[in-house]
Amino acid sequence: MNVNGETVVALLSRSLCMDYLAPAVQGAFAKIGEGVELRFVDTVRGTDALRDGAEVDVALCWEPQPGHWPLMPNVRLVHSVAAGVDHILEDPTLPAGVPLARIRDPHMASAMAAYVTWAVTSGHRGMDRYAAQQRSQTWVEHAVQPATQYPIGIAGMGTLGSHCARALAAIGYPMRGWSRSAPVKPVAGCEHFAGDAQRGEFLQGLKALICLLPLTEQTRGALNADCFAQLGNGAHVINVGRGAHLIESDLLVALDAGQLGLATLDAFNVEPLPANDAMWSHPKVRVTPHIATRTAPEVIAEQTVRHWQQVCAGEVPHHAVDRANGY
């Protein structure tokens, strides 16, 4: 709290300008009749711009600066602007007892379903061939493999994965979903698999594999040679999780050997993807700049303020992260 009795929200990012959140956060605090002061520590103000850190109540983060937490000894809520929290948990100086919360947004799930539906259907139907044919004014029809013969797996059947499974099942694809534990609400038309014991059965013969896992110590490198070897020949790998889920060298070997036919990648270890990265020019790789889905600033602000009210009332924030699980 600052000297005027206002709640102090620090907007922390070492990779983004956080201005886009300001009107929505101010508006959300105004709605609950609480004064707020925003302090930006980002790519525009400088990543060391934090002043009077002891006054910070709430930290709203996307890839926050490592090692800054000791400067904010009174922070009472750490919040991600996204569904993932790997970018926050990677800092060992994050205070253990402070609630950490994340976004859960049905609109984000709908945009993700649109992205993966595009990735799957365009890969399945070979739409890149038709784009090339248009450039050469070539009218040639290619055979259509029925969706019912094109099994698709989603690794990570949470908020986003379940929504994507419903969308793809509606088209007629045989769906499989994999999560850590058995699903509380199974998705109709989707066969569920849980835990490491059922991973092999889940992967076996898939034509497309979608990664929607959170990045944790257990899931880091999950898209690797062993995984690719279990998929159907010429399978399509779609990574909309995090860059560190994918072992890029294994992907390149599998693509070049024809074991995999296509990769659609939206998340990378280094973003923006460096100019010399092999993924940019590989003929079997499609690159998008981490745009599969986004959450509107109003949703981020509304959920942050709701969680702040819960913390002030001595409650656990509704979308609190289980730090032991890492998501």
Residue numbers at the binding site for ligand NDP (CB under 6 A): 82-84, 156-161, 178-181, 212-216, 218-219, 240-242, 266-267, 290, 292-293, 327
Interhelix angle 127-135/106-124, nearest 10 degrees? 70
DSSP characters over 158-205: SHHHHHHHHHHHHHT--EEEEESS--SSPPTTEEEEETGGGHHHHHTT
220 is annotated as an active-site residue? no
> Nearest distance from residue 102's CB to ligand NDP, in Å?
8
> Nearest distance from residue 269's CB to ligand NDP, in Å?
13
> Nearest distance from residue 85's CB to ligand NDP, in Å?
8
> Nearest distance from residue 214's CB to ligand NDP, in Å?
3
Q: Cα–Cα distance between 214 and 176 in angstroms, integer?
A: 18
Among residues 199, 290, 294, 306, the one annotated as catalytic is: 290
Nearest residue (CB) to ligand NDP, 14 versus 290: 290
Using alpha carbons, select from 99, 70, 91 the residue that is nearest to residue 14.
91
Please count the CA atoms within 13 angstroms of the CA of 66 that sit on its side-chain side: 6
Is the peptide bond prior to 272 cis by the omega test (within 30 degrees of 0)? yes
Structure tokens at 229: 């070897």
Q: Cα–Cα distance between 318 and 171 in angstroms, integer?
A: 33
242 is annotated as an active-site residue? yes
> Nearest distance from residue 277's CB to ligand NDP, in Å?
17
Residue with the two structure tokens 């070979």: 126
Nearest residue (CB) to ligand NDP, 228 versus 327: 327
Nearest residue (CB) to ligand NDP, 169 versus 253: 169
In whole angstroms, how large is the CA radius of gyration of the chain?
A: 22
Residue nearest to ligand NDP (CB): 158
Among residues 102, 242, 307, 319, the one annotated as catalytic is: 242
Nearest residue (CB) to ligand NDP, 89 versus 147: 89
Nearest residue (CB) to ligand NDP, 65 versus 159: 159
Q: Which residues are catalytic?
A: 242, 290
